[in-house]
Structure 1
Amino acid sequence: MAGEPLYLPHSDAFDDDCAIAYQHAVTHGRYTRHGVAEALGISLDEAAQIEKKLQTLSLLHPTPGEPGTFVPVSPDAAAADLVGPTEAQIRELQQAVTDVRTQMRALEPTYFESRQRRNQAEAFDIVSDIGVLQSMLNDWGARCRTEVLTAQPGGPRPSHFLDNARPLTLTRLARGVTVRHLYQHTVRSDLATTAYVRAVTAAGAEVRTTDELIDRIIIYDREIVFLPEQNVDGRAPGAVVVREPTLVAFLYKVYEHLWTAATSFSPGAEEPTAVTDDLKRSIVRLMAQGHKDEVVARRLGMSVRTCRRYISQIMEELESTSRFQAGVSAAASGMLDDPSGMT
C-alpha cells in the first residue's frame, strides 16, 4: 500500500476567475495568458496564477511536444486524475480493515471457549479498584452476545450516568443483544430516567419497575454477574464478580423472579394503578416493621418528602389519626397481603 499521505486540493481554489478562464480555454482550445488577461481585465501575472490553479485542479494538461502550452480537459477527466490515487488507497485501506476483522473473527471461538473454561476455574473475584471495575464492565458490555440484565435500586439514576449509558445501550441493541432494565417505581416521575427509558425501549429494550429491589445486579450472557461490594468503609464500594456457573444460574433465577413480579414501564402510557398501590403497600409494611421515614424512603428509592406525602395519603385513606392506627387498620383490612386491598 502506498505510504504517501492522501491529498486533494481545496475546492475553494476554483473561484469565478478560474471558471471564466477555464471557459475561455475550452472555447479557444488552449490556455493563453494574454487571452485570459484580456478577457478578465487582469495582468499577465494574475493570468499565470490562474493557469497554475487550473493545473493544480488537473483542468489543464501540457501539450506533448509543445512545452508551455496547456489545453483544457473535461471535468470528468480532471476528477478522475485528482481522486483516482486517493480512491485506490481507500480501497486498499478498506481491504486491510476487512482482512483484520476476518482474522480477529477467526479467533472468537478460541476466545469464548477459553473464557468459559476460565470462568469455571475462577468462581469469583472482588474488584475494589473502581477504574478496573469500569474497564471490566466496558469490556463485557462490548463483548456480550445475547443479553444484558440490570437491576438498579435507589430511585432515579444521575442524569450524567444515563447520558453515558444511552449510546452504549443503543449500540448493544443494534447488535441484537437483549437488554432488560429493572428499576424502582419512583423513577417513573424522573425526567432524565424517563427520557432514557423512552429512547432505549424505542430501540427494543424492556424496562420494568417494582417497589423494592434487593441490590444492584448486572448479568452478562448468563455467564458473569456483578454484585456490589458490601461493608466497605472509607472508599467507594467495588464489586464482587461471580463466574461460577451454578451461582450465576441461581442469581439469574433471582433476577427472573424480580422481573416477573415487576410492572412494565412505557413512558407516555397511562400510569398503572398497581404502581401506586405497590408503593403504598410497601410503605405500610415498612412502617409496621417500625422503620423511620428516612429508612422507608431509602428502601423505596424516593425522597423523604415524597415518602411523607404518601404516608399522609395512606392515613387519610385509612381514616387514621396516627401511624400506629394506620398500621393496625392496614393489617386488619388485609391490604398488606392482598394486592387488591389497597385502592
Structure 2
Amino acid sequence: MLTMFGLELMEEAVYREMRASPAPGAEAIADRLAVAPDLVRACLDRLLELGLVRHSFEVPGGFAAVDPILSLQQSLAGQHEELMRRQRRLAETHAEVVCLLTSGAFGLSGKVEQVERLLGMDEVQCRVDRLAGAATREVLTFRPGGAQSTPELMASRRNDAALLSRSVSIRTVGTDTDSYDAATMAHVHWLTGNGGQFRGSEAPLPRMMLVDGSVALVPVDPDNTAAGALYVTDPGLVAPMVVLFEQTWSSATPLDAERPSAGDAPSGKELALLRLVAKGCTDAAAAGRLHVSHRTARRMMAALMERLGARSRFEAGVKAARLGWL
C-alpha cells in the first residue's frame, strides 16, 4: 500500500488504475471499480494534490500517473522546506520568551517572582551542577555552537555520568554538528552509548536547559551567553519551552544517521527493497519481486530502518531520499 503518501484505499485503487497504459478516464475507472464517477474524480483531485498524477499533455481534461519515487522526492523537498520554516519560527518564539523574561528580570533585587538572573558563566555553571544533582526524571538541552571546549566537555561528562547513574533521562539537540571535533564526537558517542540520547538539527537553536519539566535555564542575551542566564521556575513560562523542545526533538535527526559512512550505503537488494516500498509494495509483495522470503524482506527492512535511525517505513523513505538513495 502507498502508506507513505497517506492514501485511502479508494485513492490507492484509483492510482493503480491510472498506472495502466494508456491511462483510463474517470468514467472507465469508475466502471472497473464499480463506484460513482464523482468519487473517482475526488480521488484524482487528491492524487493531483499529492503529486501522484498530473494533467495529461495528450488528453484534454485528463490525467497521467507520476512515478511515485519522483513524487516522494518532491514531497520530501516540500516537507523539508516547511520543517525549516517551522524550526525557524520555534527559534523566534524562544527568543520572544527570553525577551519577555529579560524585560522584567533586571530589578534591583536580581529576582522577579519566579525568574532569577544569574551573572557570569561561573555562576551559571554552579547552578547547572546543582540542577544536575537534583534532577529526578529528565534533563532536556539545546546545545548550539558546534564543538565544545575542554572545560565544557569535562563538566558535561561529570554531570551526565551522575544523571545516568540515577537513571535520569538525558535528551540533547545540537546544531552545527558538522563542525564537531574528535573530543566532542567522543562525548556524544559516550553519552549515547550509556543510555543518553542525542540528535542534530539544521535549524538555529538557542541555548536552553530544562530539568524535570519544572525548571529552565536560558541565556540573558542569546547573542552573548557569557553574560549569564535566567533561572526560570514559573510553570507558565517553562511549559512553552518544553513544548518547543519536544517539537524540535521530533524533527531532529540522530547524529549517526546524519553522518552515514561509505559502508552504510545499501546493497543492491536493499536499494531495490527501498524502491519497491516507496512505490507502495508491502514487505510480502516486495519479497516476491526480490525472490526472497517474506521473513527476509521484513528483516532487511528492519535493518534499513535501524541504520537510518527511522521509527517507521515512512521516516525510512524520508531519510533514504535525503541521502540520495532514492
Q: Normalising by the residue count of structure 2, what TM-score does the alignment of the two structures yield?
A: 0.43
Q: Normalising by the residue count of structure 1, what TM-score does the alignment of the two structures yield?
A: 0.41
Which of the pair has more CA radius of gyration?
1
Which structure would you say has the larger RCO, counting Cα contacts within 8 Å and 6 or more residues apart? 2
